[in-house]
Structure 1
Amino acid sequence: MAHQQTWLITGAGRSLGLYIAKAALAAGHAVVATGRNPEKVAQALGLADNLLVVKLDITSAADAGAAVQAAVDRFGRLDVLVNNAANFYAGFFEELSMEQMQQQMATSLLGPMQVTRAVLPVLRRQRAGKVVTISSTAGLVGFEFGAAYAASKFALEGWMQSLQAEVAPFGLETLVVNPGFFRTELLTEESTNFANQPIADYDGRREAQMEFWKGYNGQQAGDPAKLAQALLTIVGQLPMPRRFMAGADAVETAEQVAAALQQQTAAYRELSSALAFDELSAATPAG
């Protein structure tokens, strides 16, 4: 068996987090499985000697600190943090309230930041540890009806890239995972919320979007159990990669984004490259 690690997983009572927790336990690792409702987490995972279930609302600094302390008290260290807890506020930007935008950011961006902030002192003391954050293909490209979600994931990407540069000198590693569509519970009524400020101009398109997103639940091509196993493989790499595209659709999306960025860069290369400040011209008096 590989060296036992301690994994702290957010949103571990359902959906992808549950699969990751089960995979880590099966691999012989210690797991700190967290969720807003610890009873549901415990019921989903059952009993195991190397399992600790802890209450954690990722938006609560107090919860995050208590969860990390409980993990260290029980297992002595932390090796892998998986920022997984998620929700989805779907809708056209104008129809989403600012409160809904803030709630999306609270879960998809500020929540992972809160938990990571609590974990980093432990990892720095150890001079070892890995921070894994589940992003999305929505962190690579925006899409209609996904303004809130894509905004939160784009911000998540920037934060994680910056964090990598900051913590690498301590021997810490980061990984961003960009899943495509997986058959998780993200599109269930418990996790998906729709815009609540309807505007007549969007009526026809909104109806089509609502039909798609509600109908697509349970139809996603990706298998979350396979993703969980793949994640264990990726985290075990030395060195760990900084990004993992999860799913054939994610690979296709990444390739399309890279090609579009290259085309957009090349299209105005000459104009873009001619914008340097001309010290000589600036020093010459006009007229």
Structure 2
Amino acid sequence: LYETNVFGLLNVTRAVLPQMRERRSGHVINISSLGGVRSAAGFGVYCSTKFAVEGITEALHAELAPLGIHATVIEPGYFRTEFLEGQSLVTSPRELSDYAASAGAVRELAKQISLNQPGDPVRLAQAMLTLVAADNPPLRLPLGTDTLQAIADKHAFVERETAEWRGLAASTDFPA
């Protein structure tokens, strides 16, 4: 998974950047997912690759902007493809009862969502074409209402948790 989602991305980026730097233009577009916004039980390794894509793209955005090169990470939610079907979704044949309520529940949800995803792949492609034509493209482009909701939920969770633990977090600086 890392070979494809992370190291493959890095290899392609390294191959195209010399030409982009020479031209002082270009647009690196990396594909993350809703799983790059938040992780889920049973998807830890997959989501960790997408977190890597997010971090790599954020760094590229900062490094390449002075050269006139854009970098955007696309964060698609669930789109009606065969992503959760056949060989695309590999699950362990061994199910541990300890994880039935967490990873097991997600496994069942994946079966229910499959081929019922809310996102339209044709509209996703059209959105990407709009992105490519933009003069000032964003660092991140979440696509799909499910990703938008996941971002809102995560931000709300982080705000609540940070507020709850702010005192301890702030206590680690040297005294002023």
TM superposition shift of 1:118? 0.7
1:259 counterpart letter in structure 2? A
Distance in 1 separating the partners of 2:136 and 2:99:
50
Runs of 4+ aligned structure 1 residues displaced above 3 Å come to: 199-212
- Residue aligning to 2:19: 122
Is contact 2:29-2:73 (8 Å) kept?
A: yes
Unaligned runs of 5+ in 1: 1-103, 280-287
- Residue aligning to 2:156: 259
The partner residue of 1:152 within 49, 55, 70 is 49
Distance in 2 separating the partners of 1:221 and 1:192:
18
Is contact 2:31-2:53 (8 Å) kept?
A: no
TM superposition shift of 1:276? 1.7
- What do residues 55-103 of structure 1 show as CA deviations (whole Å, max 9, x unaligned)? xxxxxxxxxxxxxxxxxxxxxxxxxxxxxxxxxxxxxxxxxxxxxxxxx
Bigger proportion of residues as strand: 1
Cα RMSD, aligned residues only: 2.0
Matches within 5 A, 1:1-287: 104-195=1-92, 198=94, 200-202=96-98, 204=100, 208-278=105-175
If the length of structure 1 is used for normalisation, what is the TM-score? 0.56
Is contact 2:21-2:69 (8 Å) kept?
A: yes
Fraction of identical pairs, as percent: 35
If the length of structure 2 is used for normalisation, what is the TM-score? 0.89
The 3 A distance-change label for structure 1 pair 199 and 186 is closer
Bigger proportion of residues as helix: 2
Distance in 1 separating the partners of 2:96 and 2:66:
53
TM superposition shift of 1:271? 2.8
Higher relative contact order (CA 8 A, sep 6+): 2
1:152 counterpart letter in structure 2? T
Distance in 1 separating the partners of 2:23 and 2:114:
41
Is contact 2:30-2:73 (8 Å) kept?
A: yes
The 3 A distance-change label for structure 1 pair 204 and 275 is closer
Work out the number of aligned pairs and report it. 175
TM superposition shift of 1:207? 5.8
TM superposition shift of 1:175? 0.6
Is contact 2:36-2:54 (8 Å) kept?
A: yes
Distance in 1 separating the partners of 2:174 and 2:49:
35
TM superposition shift of 1:237? 1.7
Unaligned runs of 5+ in 2: none
- Residue aligning to 1:53: none
Larger radius of gyration: 1
